[in-house]
Every structure is written in structure tokens, then in C-alpha cells.
Amino acid sequence: MVHASCGGHRYSSGVDMVVHDLSTHRRSDRFEVWREVICREFTPLTPETESIVDGGFDARVELRPLGSTNRAVLESVGQRIAHGEKEVAHTGEGVYFVNVQLAGTCRVRTESAGAVNVVPGQFTVVDTTRPYWFDYEGPWRVMSYQVPHSCLAQSGLPQAPTIGRPLDTCAGTGLALTSIMKALWELAPDESTSSGLHLERAFYATVAAVLGETWGTAADSSSAITAAATEYIRTHLGDPELSVSVVARALSVSPRTVHYAFSKGASFATVLREHRLAAIAAVLRDPNNSAGISRIAIRHGMVDASSFSRAFRQQYSMSARDYRAQARRSA
């Protein structure tokens, strides 16, 4: 068995995508490089493995920092990874890691939840200020997002969340969370402040809601559904059939649940209309886009010309044609 440990650490603070591919290193160095990478980029960890054979040790890490969230996808071979009392003592700022199992099986052990098996279609949350242990039986792949404690506290996370439980990604708030994680993964590090910040806040709120749901907190669950539904709207504006029923089906919840989630603020219909109009307005402001206004509206799901004209004028106090002309004069 090969064993390695590390002490202090730093969290990745760069803005560019970073890939650590161990296949580019000498076989004899790969496990040591792996140990250094996971300690430096994540948190103090002690990996152990019996998987170093003639082919060497294999692993790959892709990092995509975005704001306070460090996005990562890791893949490697069977091993045990410890974040015990010794590692906790060397941990700096407390963070949570949201780990989505993409391939392989992980035996996760925490003090609060005991030992559980996590399989593809499930995720767990671990806390770097508490001990945890991962046991991967064979090849595995995980999407892992770093979330500072302070960010979840701002989203209303309960004081003592239950950590380490396997949660499903196929329905409800679990689906909401992983949908936002996938959307965040596609954002470039220099994505516009509005897009990146909106998704990042939705992610924090949804993580808090998922953990809150462990105690059956309906209000937190609604926040997660609202965030996920809004993100679904944002990425499906061109679907003229987009409706509460369509979104509910995508999130595996009832239409009534979606309506309730939007009941504390703007209605579903209002959010959908405003997102469509904002997207259309952005295209109209683009001096390089010469498409007809009706075609632009249709591409964003507004197929009724008269309804679109009324809605646009109500939102921007002028016609779409005048809006485009004004934007071009100001450019």
C-alpha cells in the first residue's frame, strides 16, 4: 500500500481552467503528484492506494474557478482518502464540498452519518471542519464544488447540517442542485457578472435548501425549486411550449409545487416573460445582429407578434424597433 499525507494547503485562486493529467508525469511520480494536487487544490488529505501496478497510478483533475466557487471534476483509480483529525487541524477556512458521483462507487464515512455507499445518481456534502473518509473500490469520477461556509450561511443554512448522507440527483431539490451545477460548469471564468453571479447565488441557495430539506424544511425546498425552475427557463427560452407543466416534468415535481415555489415573488409567467424580453433586448442591442425583430422574438419563444409587441412596449416603454434604433445610436 502506498501512503501519502500533507499539511497546510491553499485553495485555487486563479481564474483560468487548470488540468492536472497524471499521464503526463513519470509513472513513479504520479501518486506523489496526485497527493500534492488534491492537498493544494482542495483541502488537507491523506490518500492511500494499492492500485499502483505496472501501468502506474492514473488520475486527472480539471479545475474551473468561478467567484467563490471552485468547480472540479476528478477521476482516478481505487483508493482511500482520509480527512481525519490530523487533516482537520491543518484546515484553513471552513468549506463544504458538494460531491456528485458520476462513475464508480464511494464508501463515505462521517461522524454524523456513519458509513454509506454513494453511487452514480447520488451526491454527498462534506465539511472540511469535520473528519470524513472516502473509500473508492475501483475507477471513479466525481464532480466536486467547493462552497465556503460563509456563502451558505448567507443563504440561510441551518446551524448544524446533517453531513455525509447520500442524496438523489434524479428528482426534487437534488435534481435542482445538479442542474445548476451543470449550468455553472459551462460558464467561462470571465462570464459576465450578471450571469455568473446569478447562477452562483442560485447554487448556494439550492445547496442550503438541499441540506435544509434533510429536516423537511418546505420553505428551503421551495427556494431550490424556484432556483432550478428559473435556470430551466433561462436555458429553454426558445421553446414556445415552455410552461409550468414542462418545467415541473423536467424537475420531477408537480405543477402545483412549481406554482407554490413562485408564490412568494413574481409568478412563473412573469419570470418567463421577463427573461424572454431581456434576452430579446440583448439581441436588439447587438450592432452585429441584423435579424428581423419578429424572427428574434420567435427564436426566444414569443411567437405571437401582437402579444410580443405589447409586452415589449410595457417592459421598455417603447417599441422593439425604436429600442433597437436607440441602442444603435448610443453605440
Element containing residue 117 per DSSP (H, E): strand 114-118
Residue 69 vs residues 74, 150, 197, 203, 318: alpha-carbon distances, Å = 16, 12, 11, 9, 39
Beta-bridge partner residues of 136:
79, 106
State how beta strands 2-3 and 46-49 pair. antiparallel
pLDDT band (50, 70, 90) for residue 113: confident
> Which residue would you say has higher pLDDT here, 38 or 226?
38
Q: What is the pTM of this model?
A: 0.67
Query: Which of 306, 315, 305, 331 is CA-nearest to residue 272?
Result: 315
Is the separation of the CB atoms in 180 and 142 below 8 Å? no
pLDDT digits (tens, 9 = 90+) for 217-229: 445 556 677 877 8
Q: Evaluate if residue 131 carries a pLDDT over 90.
A: yes
Q: Of 5-14, 107-116, 142-151, 238-247, which gets the smallest average pLDDT?
A: 5-14
pLDDT for res 205: 78
Grid cell for residue 162: 446533517
State how beta strands 122-127 and 69-76 pair. unpaired
pLDDT for res 153: 63
pLDDT digits (tens, 9 = 90+) for 231-274: 789 888 999 999 999 988 877 678 988 898 898 888 999 999 99
Q: What is the mean pLDDT of the chain?
A: 83
Beta-bridge partner residues of 56:
53
pLDDT band (50, 70, 90) for residue 160: very low
Q: Please provide the DSSP assignment of 31-96 as one string.
A: HHHHHHHHHHHT---EEEES--BTTB--EEEEEEEETTEEEEEEEE-SEEEEE-HHHHHT--S-EE
pLDDT band (50, 70, 90) for residue 190: low
pLDDT for res 295: 96
Residue 229 vs residues 44, 167, 208, 241, 250: alpha-carbon distances, Å = 36, 20, 16, 15, 9
pLDDT band (50, 70, 90) for residue 12: very low
Residues of the chain with CATH 2.60.120.10: 1-167
Classify domain 270-330 at the CATH class level.
Answer: mainly alpha
Is the separation of the CB atoms in 274 and 235 below 8 Å? no
The pLDDT > 90 percentage for the chain reads 48
Superfamily of domain 1-167: Jelly Rolls (2.60.120.10)
pLDDT for res 14: 41
